[in-house]
Every structure is written in structure tokens, then in C-alpha cells.
Amino acid sequence: MVEDFVADNELLYRCIFYRTTDGAKLYQIEDNKAVVSSQAFRDSSSAPSVDRALLCGHNPIHTQKNPEDGVVSLICQEVRLIDSVVQKSLKGKEEFTYKIDVLPRPLPDNYAHAQIEPTPTYQSKSVFRKLLERLAFLANQRDWEILPWEVRQHKS
């Protein structure tokens, strides 16, 4: 039975692909450390996918799509506490702050799947970019669950 609520203390995994289909990297190497780019959280539906660690045995390999990819983690409560995604009027006045949540969205082949979604729906891509920047910031505050292949190769 899949829980229909993601608890605040749940760990969430996000796959950071070694390279995108267009060859771009979703992280940079700075001072021998892999730093996640905000583009690592982009999503065509503006609802970045994550896996709930609890439902995949706290094994980040479940989230890793290819052996070259890395996996980062977030804490659900920190995602829900994001308050920097703000809708502004054309005159630049704050209209409201989006409520960010993590909702279970199990897939037939991945019961651990969840999505990071706003209320209400984003009114522009620029607002969604603010979320991406904050998610990257949060991921970079934590150690990687699985380092990207390029970094693992240099450490061995």
C-alpha cells in the first residue's frame, strides 16, 4: 500500500543525469566538488519528479537511471518551506507566494514517484525558475547520495 501523503521528514531522491539529450551537464565541478545546476530540476510539466526514499528502501540506486548519473536528496519539509516563489504584478508588486508541496504520484513501474507541485499553477516560466533555483540550493546543502560518474572516476 502506497502512502497517500508525503511526510515532512521524508527524504526525496532526484536523479542528476550525467548529460542531457542535448549534451548539457546538469552540474559543474567547482573546487573538486559537484554543484547541482538549477536546470537539474527542470520539468516540462513544471512539476519536478522525485522518488520517496522510504518507498525505495532508502536506496538511491532505485532513482539512478544510468550508472553515469548522480543522485541528490532533499528533505520534504524543506521543500514545503520554500517561500521565495512569488507571483508579481506587471508593476512588480507581490501578488502572492506559491505554496509548494510534494505529492505522491505513483507510476505503474515506480510506486516511490512523487512530484513537487505548486498551488496555484505557475503563471509563468520565470516563476517556475525561482523554484528550480531554490531546489538546487537545497540539494547543494546536502551531500550527494550518489556522486556523478565523472567525480567518482577522479576519486578512485
Task: State pTM to two decimals.
Answer: 0.93
Spatial distance between the Cα atoms of 44 and 11, rounded to a whole number of angstroms: 23
Q: Is 71:14 a contact under the CB 8 Å cutoff?
A: yes
- Amino acid present at 121: T
Q: Which three cell numbers stand for residue 21?
A: 539529450
Query: Taking 70 as the threshold, does the pLDDT of residue 9 lie above it?
Result: yes
Give the start-to-end residue ranges of the domains of the chain. 11-147
Share of the chain above pLDDT 70, in %: 96
What pLDDT, on a 0 to 100 scale, did the predictor assign at position 30? 85
How do the residues of the chain divide into helix, strand and coil, expressed in percent and rounded to 5?
Answer: 25, 30, 45
pLDDT, average across residues 21-26: 82
What pLDDT, on a 0 to 100 scale, did the predictor assign at position 116? 98
Spatial distance between the Cα atoms of 146 and 64, rounded to a whole number of angstroms: 8
